[in-house]
Amino acid sequence: MNHYVCVIGAVNIDIFGTPYSLLKAHDSNPGKIFTSLGGVGRNIAENLGRMGIKVELISVLGKDNYAKNVVENSSNFNIGTSHCEILENENTSTYLCINNEKGEMQLALSDMGIYENLSPDFLNKRLSIINNSKACVIDTNIPSLSLKFIMDNVKVPIFLDTVSTTKTEKVKDFIHNIYALKPNIYEAEILSGMSIKTEDDYKIATNIILDKGVKEIYLTLGAKGVYYTDGKTFGKLPAISEAIVNTTGAGDSFLAGVIWAYLNNYDILLRSQTGLAASYITSNSDKTVSENMSEEYLKQIIKNNWSK
């Protein structure tokens, strides 16, 4: 088996604008505009790359300067992009956000139509690359038929990021071949078909999901931490408590941490701790993927918080 992980999913260009003063509608507002690389799949890939894991990224890009930025950035973090396809007459997936003066989102547009090209046929041509990896990571930005194709044809462990409640609907009827799943409460409600109101509901809902074929679940609880289970071992861990700079990308790094721990043969408790450690590193950065993310720092955070 080759020593790389396949990541199939979203690669975005994120453009944010924040005015210097009160946002005025129907007017040009002086402010600060910045652009960054994003996308759930790409974020997970970069986190893994920073953790020392070789990644093969599988996605679609437009024939534009944004695609060039993605390829150049990926090469810095041990991420291969030779299995991506650059498409004529398409825009690289772009997210445009206008904030208020406090940095709170007021309006956003997402141009993600390019992912319709991530079809079963597209993936079938890359199936041998996927099935020769150590693990396959997917997000729900890709089409439903493609997600089902992955469930039915991928032979290596699949790690799924559900992304959002709307996109979770895509996979609720076919999660039979998922090794590990990272939903939040609302996404777990969709997958289990029940309301989750109390801590007792965590076990009931996750057992329903496990019965559908999932091997491990990491139910993320925001500031309350994570509930983890494989049906035999289960528990709840609090988040590492310190001042939070930014929560964007914390979920992506959590799953990357779990995958890194899986590749290092950690048990489910240690995988959960690693996910929380990775999330902590991201939350203490103003970037979606922390520049401080590394295998060494990850181990240090784990040791500082859980080693006796």
> Is residue 189 one of the residues assigned to a domain?
yes
Q: What is the 3-state secondary structure (H, E, C) of 55-73?
A: EEEECEEECCHHHHHHHHH
> Is residue 166 one of the residues assigned to a domain?
yes
What are the angstrom distances between the C-alpha of 185 and each of 20, 92, 127, 218, 264?
Answer: 36, 31, 32, 10, 28
> Is residue 18 one of the residues assigned to a domain?
no
Give this prediction's pTM. 0.93
CA angle at residue 12 from 189 to 62, to 5 degrees? Answer: 130
> Is residue 17 one of the residues assigned to a domain?
no
**Which pLDDT value is given to residue 1?**
40
> Is residue 30 one of the residues assigned to a domain?
no
Domain with 68, as residue range(s), is 5-11+39-91+113-306
In this prediction, the residues of the chain whose per-residue pLDDT falls under 50 are: 1
Sequence-distant (≥ 6) Cβ neighbours of residue 55 within 8 angstroms: 4, 5, 6, 7, 45, 48, 49, 77, 78, 79, 80
What are the angstrom distances between the C-alpha of 271 and each of 14, 155, 267?
Answer: 30, 22, 6
| Number of domains the chain is built from | 1
- Contact between 236 and 223 under an 8 Å Cβ cutoff? The reply is no
Beta-bridge mates of residue 87: 62
> What is the helix (H) or strand (E) element at residue 34, kind and residue range?
strand 31-38
> Is residue 34 one of the residues assigned to a domain?
no
> Is residue 100 one of the residues assigned to a domain?
no
Q: 60-62 and 85-87: which strand pairing?
A: parallel
> Is residue 173 one of the residues assigned to a domain?
yes
Sequence-distant (≥ 6) Cβ neighbours of residue 298 within 8 angstroms: 51, 257, 260, 274, 277, 278, 281
CATH number, domain at 285?
3.40.1190.20
String of DSSP letters for 133-199: SSEEEEETTS-HHHHHHHHHH--S-EEEE--SHHHHTTTTT--TT-SEEE-BHHHHHHHHTS---SH
What does the alpha-carbon distance between residue 203 and residue 198 come to, in Å, rounded to a whole number? Answer: 10
**Which pLDDT value is given to residue 273?**
97
